[in-house]
Structure 1
Amino acid sequence: MTTPLRHDGKTALVTGGSRGIGRAIGRRLAGEGALVAVHYGHDRSAAERTVKEIEADGGRAFPVHAELGVPGDADTLWAAFDRALAGRDAEPGLDILVNNAGITLPRRIADVTEADYDRAFAVNTKAPFFVVQRGLDRLRDGGRIVNVSSVATRVAFPQLVAYTMTKAALDYLTLALAQELGSRGITVNSVAPGYTETEINPTLSVPEIRQRYAGASVFGRLGAPADIADVVSFVASDDARWMTGQWIDASGGVHLGV
């Protein structure tokens, strides 16, 4: 007896899907049967490479371009998504939305400028807010929204104060949306990675910092993007239908001790 694919027949959109954790999420969802829209903001070649990787594995995907953090970004994103679906003769609408796109701001409060602050909130908080708002008429009943947060929202991490504030705001959006959308059978959850091996963290090139971050996990290693993608795939599945409004630690148990 063949086991059906977890996301067979579903359509998913992963923002920031061309690299790092977003790329791994897109590949995992596609590997489980979803048609995946791989969103990118600037690096078209990376998005096309991710789509080709998905297709080489037997999955289905297409790139969607929209710069986030600028006026009208959500409308641009959804217009591009709608056009791409129509071009594939696919059914309009969406089943899984993963708000993954984000930028870091590795500075203490004294070094954060107003422009830095505004940019971080524009990309990490405002963009997903309006992506969800503009996308609710496309998201089918029984759908899934997954917000990629950070374990830093649960510990003091002054080196990332403004960045962490953007993610804390996203966590609250998760709670509010879960309450509002429950009547439609839509679940909304936050998945919070810890120290993960991606390009977004340039400090990992420093051996001492890399070793310290790896040692923060009970497993003694950095997270891999696939570690996070596996959790997101579960949260986006029907297996997680009775879980909503939750903050899910996907950090490998960092900072459990003192």
Structure 2
Amino acid sequence: MTNNTHPISPIALITGGSRGLGKSTALRLAAQGSDIILSYRSQRAAAEATVAEIQALGRRAVALPLDVGRSADFEAFAASVRQTLADTWQRERFDHLVNNAGEGVHQSLMETSEAQFDALFQVHLKGVFFLTQKLLPLMNDGGRIVNISSGLTRFALPGYAAYAAMKGAVEVLSRYMAKELGPRGIAVNTLAPGAIATDFGGGTVRDNAQVNGFIAAQTALGRVGQPEDIGGAIAALLGPGSGWINAQRIEASGGMFV
């Protein structure tokens, strides 16, 4: 019989779970026994395809629409999550939150527009802050949160000032979340990927052979990252043996610029 405090299987909510790192995370978590709620902004078909892949692994999954850049929609999204938990799982709470949804801007400091800056702020910082705030009443005590950052908060590459600044703020926010949510037993960490071969930022790392080769040459393990590398790292942070890891920035970059 299902118990809200000690569910048979954990439920993870992943924003931006229809493709890239979010999809890889969803599949890895499902493979290790989690059920999944994933959000998508516009790619409904891709989200439903990911749900089907999760179901093929024997887990339950639901895809819900959400634009993380529109904080006015968060209350309605939280209500949708609450209803989904009741309808699909007959539960009131989920266990793990992965704040993954994001977008990239590659623009020099001098050429970054205020509109670009504001869009990054809405998605990467304001979105993470207030979406987490709205979802926390639906999280089980003893749960875990992983906020996605970037290797660009440790090393600087021209053209990423605004993006990296938002991710740096998320890393600070994560430590404060860990401090304030400690009494509920909720651990909060940031996972900072290095350069990954996805369609993020126009797919430059994946599709541009010169960029790909440069990154591989600057990485101790001699290649660029793949989505599975990050999905596996996040799944490990949410696994049963990692509950004592808290308030940390963990970089998964294969050793970039060491």
- TM-score bracket, normalised by the shorter chain, equals over 0.9
> Any idea what SS the aligned residue of 1:159 has?
coil
Q: Is 1:103 the counterpart of 2:103 in the alignment? A: yes
What is the letter of the counterpart of residue 26 of structure 2? G
Question: In 2, are the aligned partners of 1:25 and 1:230 still within 8 Å (CA)?
Answer: yes
Match among 215, 230, 233 for residue 232 of structure 2: 230
Structure 1 range deviating more: 79-88 or 98-107? 79-88
Is contact 1:14–1:36 with CA below 8 Å preserved after alignment? yes
Q: Which amino acid aligns with 2:76?
A: T
The normalised TM-score by structure 1 is: 0.93
- Residue 151 of structure 2 corresponds to which residue in structure 1? 151
Is 1:54 aligned with 2:43? no
Q: Any idea what the Cα deviations from partners look like across 1:120-157, whole Å, max 9, x if unmatched? A: 11011111101111111111111000001101001122
Query: 1:73, 1:127 within 8 Å by CA — same for their partners in 2?
Result: no
Whole-angstrom distance in 2 between the partners of 1:20 and 1:66: 17
Q: 3-state SS of the aligned residue for 2:28?
A: helix
Match of residue 197 from structure 1: 197
Amino acid at match of 1:49: A
Distance 2:224 2:82 in 1: 37
Contact 2:35-2:60 at 8 Å conserved across structures: yes
Q: Separation in 2 of the partners of 1:223 and 1:180?
A: 33
For 1:28, the equivalent position in structure 2 comes to 28
Mean CA deviation greater in 55-64 or 172-181: 55-64
CA contact (8 A) 1:146 1:188 kept: yes
Which residue in 2 is equivalent to 1:217? 219
Counterpart-to-counterpart distance in 2, 1:137 and 1:71: 17
Alpha-carbon distance in structure 2 between the residues aligned to 1:50 and 1:42: 14
Deviation at 1:106, TM superposition (A): 0.7
Partner Cα distance (2:234, 2:30) in 1: 12
Q: Distance in 2 between matches of 1:76 and 1:24?
A: 26
Q: CA deviation at 1:80?
A: 2.0
Amino acid aligned to 2:12? A
Consecutive aligned runs of 4 or more in structure 1 exceeding 3 Å deviation = none
- For the residues of structure 2 that align with 1:83 and 1:100, how far apart are their CA atoms? 22
What amino acid is the match of 1:95? D
> 1:232-247 alignment to 2 at 5 Å?
232-247=234-249
Q: Quote how far apart the aligned CAs of 1:221 are.
A: 0.8
* Paired residues of 1:8 and 1:33 also in contact (CA < 8 A): no
Segment drifting more, 71-80 vs 205-214: 71-80
Q: Normalising by structure 2, what TM-score?
A: 0.93
Give the match for residue 169 of structure 1: 169
* CA distance, structure 2, for counterparts of residue 54 and residue 136 of structure 1: 25
Residues 71 and 127 in structure 2, CA contact (< 8 A), matched pair in contact too: no
Conserved in 2, the CA contact under 8 Å of 1:195 and 1:214? no
AA aligned to 1:242 is W
- Map Cα deviations across residues 6-39 of structure 1 (whole Å, 9 max, x no partner): x961111000000000000011111111110011
5+ unaligned residues in a row in structure 1: which ranges? Answer: 1-6
> How many residues in Structure 1 have an aligned counterpart in Structure 2?
250
AA in 2 matched with 1:203: T
User: CA separation in 2, counterparts of 1:132 and 1:89?
Assistant: 21
Find the aligned partners of 1:27 and 1:176 in 2 and give their Cα distance.
29
Match of 1:76 in 2: 76
Aligned residue for 2:41?
Answer: 41
Instruction: Say whether residues 1:65 and 2:70 are aligned partners.
Output: no
Residue 84 of structure 1: how far off its partner (Å): 2.0
Q: CA deviation at 1:159?
A: 1.2
Any gaps of 5 or more consecutive residues in structure 2?
1-6
- Cα distance per residue 1:89-131 (max 9 Å; x no partner): 4311110000000000111111111110000110111111011
The equivalent of 1:135 in structure 2 is 135
Deviation at 1:220, TM superposition (A): 1.0
